[in-house]
Amino acid sequence: MLDERTPIDTVIPISELVAEYLDDCRIRNLSPVTISRYDESLRRLLASHWDSELRSLRVESVRSVVAGLLESHSPATINRELRALKAFLYYALDNDYEVPFHPRKLKKLREPRKVPPCFSAEQIEALLAQPDRRTYAGLRWYTMMCLMLDVGLRLSELTGLETGDINLPYIRVRGKFDKERILAASDVMVKTLRRYLGVRDRLIARTSLITDLVFPSRIGTRLTPTTVNSAIKKYGRQAGITGVRLSPHTFRYTYTSLAIRNGMSLTSLQTCLGHTTLTMTRHYAVLNDSDAFEESRRCSPLVSLGGKRRM
């Protein structure tokens, strides 16, 4: 007979607790990519304690793992893994598991401040000239790159777009945690997107494919991140582009930089990018050195003195 008064056992191996935590992440509707990264990070940081109880974990052992990771990983990468571990420990605290130390004791590493990589105007023109728009694949890649530049979509938002999301000039986007926002495409983008959608619809009508995706693969499925990254790298090499990372996220940084340069406010930019706080928007909005140089020359106090200064 079960003794219903038996206290719940909160002493379980870390491996079981991690599995429970990842199930909670799924219930909270975190993306599969995020959950996979959490899993990888926790396995790496907790490898030596994987089959042990959580109460056996020590801050020193985590720091030892971090010291080893520094030989092959950047501080930014390690900080992302530490955030995953801290979120896991907070989950354990909230669910009355015996956590041996407070998550705040895991201090993040200092990261070198870097200017986000952006494409120059010349590089953008060279990139957009590469796809062969006489083919469906070429027109699709061209339209996708234009759309990333026009409204600053994340890769997952771009590949997940469905025809029901398009009501030109407005585009409904499902961002992180399934948060929806409405973006407005420019007149140039509306023209490009209308042409692409016409070609897409006629092509699919001649096949047995059934898909609502705006940018489907040749078999009607969602394009994978690897496929999109490979295409951008290929076009970048063909265009002879060097000195900047060839990736979808560089398009997002470029959109941000050019939007700020063209006069968009940070609050409007925050809405368009789908950021919950202005902190991340400010990180994206770092302008290129050339912008700072020109503004510095224009706003110099020495210049403002005009004829009053004596030579």
pLDDT of res. 234: 96
Q: Which of 59, 53, 220 is nearest to 136 (CA)?
A: 220
pLDDT of res. 311: 46
CATH of the domain at 73: 1.10.150
126 & 100 share domain: no
Q: Which of 37, 3, 44 is nearest to 22 (CA)?
A: 37
48 & 90 share domain: yes
* pLDDT class of 184 with cuts at 50, 70, 90: confident
57 & 160 share domain: no
pLDDT of res. 249: 87
CA distances from 250 to 93, 126, 136, 174, 255 (A): 38, 15, 24, 20, 9
Residue 53 lies in a domain: yes
pLDDT of res. 12: 84
CB 99 within 8 A of CB 56: no
Mean pLDDT on 62-88? 91
67 & 142 share domain: no
CA distances from 106 to 7, 14, 52, 56, 100 (A): 31, 18, 20, 16, 12
Burial degree of 73 (CB within 10 A; 0-12, 13-18, 19+): middle
199 & 64 share domain: no
Residue 308 lies in a domain: no
81 & 204 share domain: no
Residue 205 lies in a domain: yes
149 & 22 share domain: no
Evaluate if residue 309 carries a pLDDT over 50.
no
Mean pLDDT on 200-205? 94
More confident residue, 308 or 233: 233
More confident residue, 116 or 224: 224
CA dihedral 120→122→128→131, nearest 10 degrees, is -120
Burial degree of 156 (CB within 10 A; 0-12, 13-18, 19+): middle
139 & 183 share domain: yes
Residue 225 lies in a domain: yes
For all residues of the chain together, what is the average pLDDT? 84
- Overall pTM surpassing 0.95 (yes/no): no
Residue 46 lies in a domain: yes
Residue 233 lies in a domain: yes
Evaluate if residue 281 carries a pLDDT over 60.
no
Domain boundary pick from 105, 133, 165: 105
pLDDT of res. 270: 66
pLDDT of res. 235: 97
272 & 135 share domain: yes
Mean pLDDT on 191-216? 94
74 & 177 share domain: no
128 & 75 share domain: no
CATH of the domain at 198: 1.10.443.10
Give residues with Cβ within 8 angstroms of 190, minimum separation 6: 168, 169
Domain count along the chain: 2
Evaluate if residue 218 carries a pLDDT over 80.
yes
DSSP secondary structure of 206-263: TSS----BSSB-TTSSBPPHHHHHHHHHHHHHHTT--SS--SHHHHHHHHHHHHHHTT
Return phi, psi of residue 119, to 5°. Answer: -80, 145
* pLDDT class of 88 with cuts at 50, 70, 90: very high
Residue 311 lies in a domain: no
Mean pLDDT on 110-139? 88
Residue 24 lies in a domain: yes
262 & 231 share domain: yes
pLDDT of res. 114: 66
More confident residue, 256 or 308: 256
More confident residue, 290 or 31: 31
Return phi, psi of residue 301, to 5°. Answer: -60, -30
Which domain covers residue 233, as residue numbers? Answer: 121-294
